[in-house]
Amino acid sequence: MTVRFVDSASLPTAWGEFDMHGFEDAQANKEHVVLTMGDVGNGEPVLARVHSECLTGDALFSMRCDCGNQLQAALEAIAAEGRGALFYLRQEGRGIGLLNKIRAYKLQDAGADTVEANERLGFGADMRDYSILKPMFDHLAIDSVRLMTNNPRKVQALEELGVKVVERIPLHTHSNPHNEKYLRTKAGKLGHLFG
């Protein structure tokens, strides 16, 4: 595995002070971060979120998805509990990258759903690689989680890495006219569970 820990620093946020841990994937030329609050390596299951980068939703407040809302909800939940970890993976557009995501948006504007758009561009429906998480979990000494996700694939991926998922906690966000089709596609074609 080419992912290695680089350094840590404090990160004050609107929800409280987190520790930010930087990791580098030399093979993929990507940098990832984990935000932690409290003692996450004490052997107790950790409230956790595995979040793939979504520049449009996380930073530009796009209403086409629910990513930014899920990110904020996860940070709020961790802060309310006073302990947890948010794994922020640089895998934009389900792993296809930002520019291809823009191309996929154009296809969606013409009627395709998110899965169809990715496939028309020659990609799989979801190209994310969760194996890169293993060195991060190992470095932080986290071996069991209460995972905030609607995506059963993430639960399976963590279990395959040897991380025990003791509970799946759904992340509820509000739909809007711009993301209704997106959310239906996540449930119907990608198996996401919203309850």
DSSP reduced 3-state for 193: coil
Active site residues: 126, 128
In this predicted model, what pLDDT tens digit does every residue of 42-61 receive, in sequence order?
889 999 999 999 999 999 99
- Flag the least confident range among 141-145, 161-165, 174-178, 191-195: 191-195
What residues form DSSP beta bridges with 144?
164
- Convert the pLDDT of each residue in 103-124 to its tens digit: 989 999 999 888 888 889 988 8
Q: What is the mean pLDDT of residues 80-101?
A: 91
Give dist(CA 110, CA 71) in Å, integer: 28
Residue 17 · residue 82 · CB < 8 Å: no
13 among annotated binding-site residues: no
27 annotated to a ligand binding site: no
Spell out the domain ranges in the chain.
17-91+128-190
The overall pTM is greater than 0.95: no
- Asked if residue 97 has pLDDT above 90, the reply is no
Measured distance CA(18)–CA(158) in Å, rounded: 23
52 labelled as ligand-binding? yes
Q: Please check whether residue 34 is in contact with residue 46, taking contact to mean a CB–CB distance below 8 angstroms.
A: no
- H-assigned helices in the chain: 67-81, 92-95, 98-109, 114-120, 134-140, 152-160, 180-188
* CATH code that applies to domain 17-91+128-190: 3.40.50.10990
